[in-house]
Amino acid sequence: MGDSPEAIRLDKWLWQARFCKSRAIAQRLVEGGAVRVNTVRVQKPATNVRVGDGVTIAYAGRVHAVRIVGLGGRRGPASEAQTLYIEVGALAAPLEPGPEPDT
């Protein structure tokens, strides 16, 4: 058996990667439908994620699309957390407001 796990809970990974300040916040984010894994919306914080999975997180007016490149063993400093994923696509930019509806 190796030193690192093959899979980790989604809420724990979001917390370790510093997308959320606490696991409770990560759990609420997932349960609220704001997270997709490999384009599928998940609502169970215990969903397992693996290296290579794509994760899309929508919160605070932003959408983050990342590819998991590491699972981590702890919640370390931000510099360590940034080694757990790579940003993909143009979704890392702030969301622009849509056009006003005609009234």
**Average pLDDT score, the chain:** 85
Residue 73 has pLDDT above 90, yes or no: no
Domains and CATH numbers, the chain: 8-92 (3.10.290.10)
The whole-number average pLDDT for the span 13-24 is: 95
Mean pLDDT, range 12-20, rounded to an integer = 95
Instruction: List, in sequence order, every residue forming a beta bridge with 36; answer none if it has no partner.
Output: 41, 56
pLDDT digits (tens, 9 = 90+) for 27-72: 999 999 999 999 999 999 999 999 999 999 998 888 999 999 999 8
In the prediction, which pLDDT does 57 show?
Answer: 95
**Is 17:84 a contact under the CB 8 Å cutoff?**
yes
**Which tokens is 72 given?**
């981590």
